């Protein structure tokens, strides 16, 4: 019996059930173990590891055999004794705007909801007049804020396309955010499975969902995040895709107030070396200053709409 750990949120459980179905289809017995994480208890907690720490403790303690994560939630560095053992086929990695036919169609000063510093930086990099409002909670909670008359009404929200697809939510006014600054979070659209190093039986079972090409892309994207020291105070994006002869990787670092950003795109055949190269070039292109300004100038406990006046104003 494989004990499969998952957060208790609706989206996390959908993801875990998808993995469990694949494991059962391969002949394995599966029990889903629901775990409440720090992020579930306090969504405003600043540490990126808030979504995975309790699951990782369960792995270390032997209470679960594998943990299912949205790859974008997994910090660049893992605890000793744990490793990522599989990655799924990637679903749509893009962010989507809901509530307006386009970003340009929003009125001046429109209230746009997101809990992501990266998304806020990218939105403001395209429309400095927008008011970015902290929008936390599950997908249905956020969608409800688009309804006229809601006490915390928003003109639009930004969510991950993959999460909507997994939940079967298809609002009529979903519009992908396109353009050079809209680079997805590292691992966005991918499910990854974490296990104990040396537990070959569990790792072998997990590979029933494994996609080798996307695994390589995930390694490249995570290499960018590690080299940049990305965390919840960082507006960092990285997206890799297979191309003939290797991989194409785009990286992004932005100022939280949208005033500046660094972009780079390279191709190569070694995913982790490619990620390190893109990160190095981003740092040289001003990314180091952008990251430092964000860490020094933002109170992560404050709503995003209240943070803009405190953000540094680095050059692009």
Assess if residue 49 is contained within a domain.
yes
Task: Identify the pLDDT of residue 287.
Answer: 96
- Judgement on whether residues 151 and 194 belong to the same structural domain of the protein: no
- Per the annotation, the verdict on 73 as an active-site residue is yes
- Per the annotation, the verdict on 284 as an active-site residue is no
Assess if residue 106 is contained within a domain.
yes
Q: Out of 48, 94, 118, 222, pick the active-site residue.
A: 118
Task: Identify the pLDDT of residue 202.
Answer: 97
- Judgement on whether residues 6 and 83 belong to the same structural domain of the protein: yes
Residues facing residue 176 across a β-bridge: 96
Task: Identify the pLDDT of residue 172.
Answer: 78
- Per the annotation, the verdict on 72 as an active-site residue is yes
- Per the annotation, the verdict on 3 as an active-site residue is no
Name the domain count of the chain. 3
Q: Out of 94, 111, 142, 145, pick the active-site residue.
A: 142
- Judgement on whether residues 60 and 200 belong to the same structural domain of the protein: yes
Q: Out of 65, 73, 95, 199, pick the active-site residue.
A: 73
- Per the annotation, the verdict on 295 as an active-site residue is no
Cα dihedral 96, 99, 104, 110 sign: negative
- Judgement on whether residues 179 and 195 belong to the same structural domain of the protein: no
Assess if residue 216 is contained within a domain.
no
Measure the CA–CA gap between 15 and 145, rounded to whole angstroms: 25
Indicate which CATH number applies to the domain containing 244: 3.30.160.40
Assess if residue 21 is contained within a domain.
yes
Indicate which CATH number applies to the domain containing 42: 3.40.190.10
- Per the annotation, the verdict on 142 as an active-site residue is yes
Give the chain's mean pLDDT. 89
Claim: this prediction has a pTM higher than 0.85: yes
Q: Out of 17, 43, 57, 136, pick the active-site residue.
A: 136
Strands 2-7 and 66-70: parallel
Q: Out of 72, 111, 166, 219, pick the active-site residue.
A: 72
Q: Out of 47, 207, 232, 241, pick the active-site residue.
A: 232
For the chain, which residues score pLDDT lower than 50?
A: 46, 299-316
209 contact partners, CB below 8 Å, separation of at least 6? 19, 22, 86, 87, 88, 89, 191, 193
- Per the annotation, the verdict on 219 as an active-site residue is no
Ordered strands of the 66-70 beta sheet: 30-35, 2-7, 66-70, 191-196, 82-87
Q: Which domain holds residue 286?
A: 223-297
- Judgement on whether residues 175 and 195 belong to the same structural domain of the protein: no
């Amino acid at each position: 019996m494989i004990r499969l750990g998952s957060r208790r949120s609706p989206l996390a459980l959908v993801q875990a059930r998808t993995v469990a179905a694949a494991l059962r289809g391969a002949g394995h017995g599966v029990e889903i173990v629901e775990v409440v994480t720090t992020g579930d208890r306090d969504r405003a907690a600043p540490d990126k590891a808030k979504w995975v720490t309790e699951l990782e403790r369960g792995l270390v303690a032997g209470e679960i055999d594998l943990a299912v994560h949205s790859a974008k939630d997994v910090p660049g560095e893992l605890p000793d004794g744990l490793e990522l053992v599989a990655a799924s086929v990637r679903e749509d990695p893009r962010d989507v705007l809901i509530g307006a036919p386009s970003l340009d169609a929003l009125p001046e000063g429109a209230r746009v909801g997101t809990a992501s510093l990266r998304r806020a930086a990218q939105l403001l990099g395209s429309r400095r007049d927008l008011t970015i409002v902290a929008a936390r909670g599950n997908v249905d909670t956020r969608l409800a804020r688009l309804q006229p008359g809601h006490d915390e009404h928003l003109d639009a929200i930004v969510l991950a396309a993959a999460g909507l697809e997994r939940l079967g939510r298809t609002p009529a006014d979903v519009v992908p955010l396109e353009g050079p600054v809209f680079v997805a979070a590292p691992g966005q659209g991918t499910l990854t499975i974490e296990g104990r190093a040396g537990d070959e039986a569990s790792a072998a079972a997990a590979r029933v969902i494994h996609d080798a090409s996307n695994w390589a892309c995930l390694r490249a994207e995570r290499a960018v995040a590690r080299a940049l020291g990305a965390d919840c105070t960082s507006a960092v994006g990285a997206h890799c895709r297979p191309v003939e002869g290797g991989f194409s990787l785009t990286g992004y670092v932005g100022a939280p107030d949208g005033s500046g950003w660094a972009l780079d795109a390279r191709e190569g055949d070694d995913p982790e070396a490619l990620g390190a190269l893109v990160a190095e070039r981003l740092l040289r292109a001003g990314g180091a200053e952008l990251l430092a300004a964000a860490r020094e100038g933002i109170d992560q406990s404050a709503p995003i709409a209240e943070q803009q006046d405190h953000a540094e104003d680095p050059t692009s």
